[in-house]
């Protein structure tokens, strides 16, 4: 009798996880379906963009819509280069983004090193003061900044977009300082005793240690500059001076009247593709870096 109860007990204990497992699997199927539908909504507009860019005019205005055009034509991808200053747009965007991120990363990581590992008077107060400026929204600064650059004749050049960035990026400083707090101070003390100068400590010890974090931050910053629109629209007037984002916006403004959507979409795909490739290559580092910044931030 007692045995039986014991066995029955055992059975019920055993039986429960099985049914729960099953329930879990059914839930997972629903979740998977839900995520897949969401994913379709995420990519559909982008696929639509690519699809439009290779369509002929008849297919663009076909009802019901054609997802895979009967005539796939890449002619618009050849045409865009002569229809607007796309090439100079790409090179201008590259000049701004590369200069700012390379030099700005050096200044930012040096500052992060000082704020986290060197002792000096006012360290915390200076850091708080610097970081408080993040609170000031750009629209409040853009008018005086514009007048400032205008008075030294920098309007309609890339300099107003480049120069401020060279002084460093506060988010990068903040993030790297956080990252460096896990590096033991004893490493630095040991290097000092070995007679390393502070510059040597930075590039021989600190920089190699924070390289992964720096790389992720640099990529994010690069993307931000590449995709920036408000800064360029304020400063750049001549077509050949404009960055890529402005060039494609002007494509949109000029060719929408002629309903040349394949041309506009082709130019937009070209503007989108570089960052998409960068993201695909570095997605692991980028996603990790974002996740950390959110949890710690």
Partner 1 sequence: MKATSKLYRTEERYAYLFIAAPFLGFLIFALVPLVYAIYGSFTDWNGLGQMNFIGLENFKNVFQDEYFYKAMYNTLFMMLGIPIGIVLALLLAMGLNRGIPGTSTFRVIYYIPVISSIAAISILWQWAYNGDYGLVNQFLALIGIEGPNWLQNTSTVKPALIIMAVWKGLGYTMLLYLAALQSVPKSYYEAAKLDGANALQAFWHITLPMVKPVTFFIIVTNIIGGAQIFTEINVMTPTGGPEYSSASVVFYIWQKAFGNFQLGYASAMALVLGLFIFIITLIQFKINEKNSFDMD
Considering only residues 204 to 243 of the shown chain, the ones binding partner 1 according to CB under 8 A are 223, 226-227, 229-230, 233-234
**Rounded Cα–Cα distance for residues 105 and 274 (Å):** 21
Nearer to partner 1, 7 or 132 (CB): 132
Here the tokens at position 71 are: 């005539």
Can residue 49 be called a binding residue for partner 1 (CB under 8 A)? yes
Give the CB-side neighbour count of residue 30, counting CA atoms within 13 A: 6
Q: Of the candidates 141, 278, 128, 132, which has an alpha carbon nearest to the alpha carbon of residue 216?
A: 278
Shortest distance in whole angstroms from residue 11 CB to partner 1: 20
Distance CA 271, CA 252 (A): 12
CB distance 235 to 85 below 8 Å: no
Radius of gyration over alpha carbons of the chain, in Å?
27
Q: Is 141 in the site for partner 1 (CB under 8 A)?
A: yes
Identify the DSSP state of 265. Answer: H
The least CB distance from residue 247 to partner 1, in Å, is 9
- Site residues for partner 1, window 234-293 (CB under 8 A)? 234, 245-246, 248-249, 251-253, 256, 261, 264-265, 268-269, 271-272, 275-276, 278-280, 283, 286-287, 290-292
CB of 72 to partner 1, least distance (A): 19
288 CB neighbour count, 10 Å cutoff:
14
Nearer CB in complex with partner 1: 3/297: 297
Smallest distance from partner 1 to CB 122, Å: 9
What does the block give as tokens for 9? 């007990």
31 near partner 1, judged by CB under 8 A: yes
Contact between 61 and partner 1 per CB under 8 A: yes
Binders of partner 1 in range 166-195 (CB under 8 A): 166-168, 170, 173, 192
- One residue of 3, 45, 128, 208 binding partner 1 per CB under 8 A: 45
User: Any contact of residue 18 with partner 1 (CB under 8 A)?
Assistant: no
- 174 token code pair: 């903040």
Q: Choose the stretch contacting partner 1; rule: CB under 8 A; options: 6-14, 68-76, 80-88, 146-154.
A: 146-154
| Binding piece for partner 1, criterion CB under 8 A, among 3-11, 44-52, 72-80, 207-215 | 44-52
Smallest gap from Cβ 36 to partner 1, in A, equals 8
* Residue 258 DSSP one-character state: T
Report the nearest approach of partner 1 to the CB of residue 47 (Å): 10
Q: Beta-carbon neighbour count of residue 50 at 10 Å?
A: 15
By CB under 8 A, the residues from 100 to 119 that bind partner 1 are 107-108, 110-111, 113-115, 118-119
Report the C-alpha gap between 244 and 269 in whole angstroms.
Answer: 12
What residues contact residue 75 under an 8 Å CB cut-off, 6+ apart? none
| Residue labelled with tokens 């003390």 | 189
Longest dimension (CA), the chain: 98
Burial class (CB in 10 A: 0-12, 13-18, 19+), 89: buried
DSSP class of 64? S
Residues 67-106 that bind partner 1 (CB under 8 A): none
- Give the nearer residue to partner 1 in terms of CB position, either 184 or 195: 195
Q: Which of residues 39 and 98 has its CB atom nearest to partner 1 in the complex?
A: 39
């Amino acid at each position: 009798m007692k045995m039986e109860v014991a066995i029955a007990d055992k059975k019920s204990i055993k039986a429960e996880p099985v049914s729960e497992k099953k329930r879990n699997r059914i839930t997972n199927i629903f979740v998977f379906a839900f995520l897949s539908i969401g994913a379709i909504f995420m990519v559909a507009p982008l696929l639509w963009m690519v699809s439009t860019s290779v369509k002929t005019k008849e297919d663009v205005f076909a009802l019901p819509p054609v997802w895979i055009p009967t005539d796939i034509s890449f002619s618009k991808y050849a045409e865009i280069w002569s229809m607007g200053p796309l090439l100079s747009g790409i090179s201008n965007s590259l000049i701004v983004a590369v200069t700012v991120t390379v030099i700005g990363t050096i200044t930012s990581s040096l500052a992060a090193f000082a704020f986290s590992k060197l002792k000096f008077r006012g360290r915390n107060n200076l850091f708080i003061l610097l970081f408080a400026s993040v609170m000031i929204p750009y629209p409040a600064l853009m008018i005086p900044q514009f007048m400032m650059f205008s008075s030294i004749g920098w309007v309609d050049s890339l300099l107003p977009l480049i120069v401020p960035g060279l002084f460093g990026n506060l988010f990068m400083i903040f993030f790297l300082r956080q990252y460096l707090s896990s590096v033991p101070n004893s490493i630095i003390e040991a290097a000092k005793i070995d007679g390393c100068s502070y510059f040597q400590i930075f590039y021989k010890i600190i920089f190699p240690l924070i390289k992964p974090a720096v790389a992720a931050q640099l990529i994010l910053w690069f993307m931000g500059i590449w995709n920036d629109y408000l800064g360029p629209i304020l400063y750049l007037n001549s077509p050949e001076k404009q960055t890529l984002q402005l060039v494609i916006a002007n494509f949109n403004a000029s060719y929408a009247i002629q309903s040349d959507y394949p041309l506009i979409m082709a130019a937009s795909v070209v503007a989108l593709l570089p960052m998409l490739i960068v993201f695909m290559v570095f997605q692991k580092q980028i996603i990790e870096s974002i996740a950390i910044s959110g949890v710690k931030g």
